Structure 1
Amino acid sequence: MKNLWILLLLTAINIGYSQEGDAIYLSAEQFPGTDVSDVTKLEAGIAFPIINTNKEKLTIGGKVQNTSFSYVDKDVPFETDEIEDFNAFSFKLGYKRRLSDRWSLQLMGESQVSSNFGENEIKPEDIFFNASAVLERYNESNNSIWTFGATYDIQYGLYYPIPVIAYTKRIDESWAYKIGFPDARVKWSISEHHNFEGFATLKGFTGNINDEVEVYKEDYSGTLRQTRYILGLGYNVSFFKTFEANISGGYSMYNTMKIQDYNHNEVYDFEPSNSYYLNLSRKYKFKSNTAIRSLY
């Protein structure tokens, strides 16, 4: 009930969520109904352009995040007090540059603390670094964009970099799609301010266990990691040119959650079942002056 009230409250706040672009955002995600744990993630942040010219843009920002796990005791055979609540905050830099009429470059670097803060202090293991480098090539005759690069980001629950590849095409004023990994989407715009969007995307979580957790009467140090691949449908509405709101839901087609030691060896596999996904969000967008193509 507490999580439901939080989700309803967020729909009344006029700042929102943004995985891409420069914005002030607030987001609430929930994964209810698994046989291991319900997961609720609340996140707020800002990405503000401090250089915003026709050719390049430098963005500075950060976020705060709380991730709560409500475990089903009968399915987790040890005490979960130490791994029920994680907090994170980060500092992030983003850079975009138009290299030519066809090519553009995007870089991201982020330092992030993500921990259960079991000892009420920040340890070196609580600190993570995320980065990405992406090139885009625009094809004017086909009205399409190829994107390729790589990213390392603990938001996916993985400890290794993954490829970023996508083909984006604008069919007409109403339809556009993006085929790729870790994110694929198709959008149907029913008017200037309303659209529906189907998506297949990778999501996850990583948090350091700041104090040892006892598993089968042995104490372990390490991280809690979760990775999900979600299929879903969302509805987006924009108003006053700079505000957007979104509601989306879906179902995980792949779901894993593990405790790992610092050598990435498995300590415990929760073996969660697939479950439903819900997201409510708002965002306020900052104007972009860069002449980088965006077809989606």
Structure 2
Amino acid sequence: MHKPITILSFLILFITTANAQLSDLARLDYTIIPENNSNIEYSKTRALFNIPVKLKREGEYLLLGLDYSTVNLNINRDNPTFDKDLIGDFQSLDLSLGYTKPLKNDWRLGIRVKPGFSTNLTANSLSFEDLVISADVVFIRERELENNKKDRLILGVTYSQNRGFLFPLPFVSYYKKFHEKWSYNIGIPKTNLQYHLSDKHRFKFSTELDGFTANLQNGIEIDGQNATARIFNVSTILGGIQYEYHIIDHLEFFAQAAYTFSNNIRLRTNNRDNLITINNESSLFLKTGLRLKI
């Protein structure tokens, strides 16, 4: 039997900034990359909720969601090449519509479309350039193994304008709990090794991709450049440890400390050509929050 606990995790995949497989009904988190040698501080606040709606057929669900983020960039140095006040604040809002149904032989189909906007909101209204579209089609197989062990395989295709690629990408993820206290997940954008200390405490040792992309309304002129910056892009590769505490059933606190092996903040043209790199210094990465899980 396909239980509700398996449903939302199949469809809510991190695609912009952060997105991986999640099973969150609601989530509130805060991320900060403290000021480093480049005198730049990056922070992000994110809130989301998802509502599963049971359909008439057994195992079929419609998934409705909303995902909102604010991003702040503090440049604590004089930079005469562009107006740094135009890239201080960004906002992103995504609506999510998903559908899932069971297939044969322990497989399940998941489809999601996610329209939204991501912009610095320096103009009086939104425009077509602020629009971002994401879409996913995935096939999931989850199995219960012997001795309370299990595994999960996800195969599919994912596309997101907010990620910065102009073409669909393959999505592959494999999870296995191979011991009472140990499990792992191999895939992109996140790979981790998990230690289950108890029912309430868990540690994750992980590497992952993170990032953010937004439209620059009205563009930004850069001294010495013949082109105008139209896109703000953050791309990060990080590794570290995350602690999770289950406060009560389905409610969890988490805190992450990591190091960014690659941390690039750039201004780009509409053709995704890099005009200027604002920051490429590695730094500390801190993240904490609450999530309500199925």
Common topology (TM > 0.5) = yes
Moved more, 223-232 or 130-139: 130-139
* CA distance in structure 1 between the aligned counterparts of 2:77 and 2:256, rounded to whole angstroms: 29
- % identity of equivalent residues: 23
**Runs ≥4 in structure 1, deviation > 6 angstroms?**
none
What is residue 290 of structure 1 aligned with on the other side?
Answer: none
What is residue 123 of structure 2 aligned with on the other side?
Answer: 119
The TM-score normalised by the length of structure 2 is 0.83
- Give the Å deviation of 1:111: 0.8
Seen in structure 2, the aligned counterparts of structure 1 residues 81 and 280 have a Cα distance that, compared at 3 Å, is same
- Please state whether the residue corresponding to 1:216 is helix, strand or coil: coil
Contact 1:156/1:227 (8 A) holds in 2: no
Seen in structure 2, the aligned counterparts of structure 1 residues 189 and 248 have a Cα distance that, compared at 3 Å, is same
* CA distance in structure 1 between the aligned counterparts of 2:213 and 2:42, rounded to whole angstroms: 13
Task: Output one character per residue of 1:83-128: Cα deviation in whole Å (capped at 9) or x when no partner.
Answer: 1110111211122222124212222211111111111310110010
Seen in structure 2, the aligned counterparts of structure 1 residues 279 and 156 have a Cα distance that, compared at 3 Å, is farther
Task: Output one character per residue of 1:220-273: Cα deviation in whole Å (capped at 9) or x when no partner.
Answer: 251101111111110111122121110011011222222111122222222411
Seen in structure 2, the aligned counterparts of structure 1 residues 119 and 155 have a Cα distance that, compared at 3 Å, is closer
Amino acid at match of 1:204: G
Alignment match of 1:240 (pick from 207, 228, 248) = 248
* CA distance in structure 2 between the aligned counterparts of 1:229 and 1:216, rounded to whole angstroms: 30
Seen in structure 2, the aligned counterparts of structure 1 residues 159 and 186 have a Cα distance that, compared at 3 Å, is same
* CA distance in structure 1 between the aligned counterparts of 2:197 and 2:161, rounded to whole angstroms: 35
The reply to whether residue 252 of structure 1 matches residue 260 of structure 2 is: yes
What is residue 198 of structure 1 aligned with on the other side?
Answer: 205
* CA distance in structure 2 between the aligned counterparts of 1:227 and 1:160, rounded to whole angstroms: 17
Seen in structure 2, the aligned counterparts of structure 1 residues 162 and 156 have a Cα distance that, compared at 3 Å, is same
Alignment match of 2:70 (pick from 60, 66, 72) = 66
What is residue 46 of structure 2 aligned with on the other side?
Answer: 43
Contact 1:209/1:224 (8 A) holds in 2: yes
Looking at both structures, which has the greater relative contact order when contacts are Cα pairs under 8 Å and sequence separation is at least 6?
1
The TM-score normalised by the length of structure 1 is 0.83
- Where in structure 2 are there 5+ consecutive unaligned residues? 1-18
What is residue 25 of structure 1 aligned with on the other side?
Answer: 27
Task: Output one character per residue of 1:132-182: Cα deviation in whole Å (capped at 9) or x when no partner.
Answer: 222223455684332222222355454443332122111122111011122
- Please state whether the residue corresponding to 2:129 is helix, strand or coil: helix
Contact 1:164/1:182 (8 A) holds in 2: no
Contact 1:68/1:84 (8 A) holds in 2: yes
Contact 1:22/1:49 (8 A) holds in 2: no
What is residue 180 of structure 1 aligned with on the other side?
Answer: 187
